[in-house]
Amino acid sequence: MFNEISEDSEMKFYDEGHENRYFAILSRMRNNNERHAAFAYLVSFVKVPVNDCFDFVKDEIKEDMLECEWIGSGSERVLKLAKNLWDFKLHADVSDVFSYVGDEYAEFMFYAIQIRYGYVPYLYCAGKDA
pLDDT in tens, 71-109: 776 777 788 888 888 886 655 555 555 565 556 677 888
pLDDT at residue 118, as a whole number: 80
Comparing C-alpha atoms, which of 124, 67, 77, 129 is closest to residue 100? 77
Predicted confidence band at 16 (pLDDT cuts at 50, 70, 90)? very high
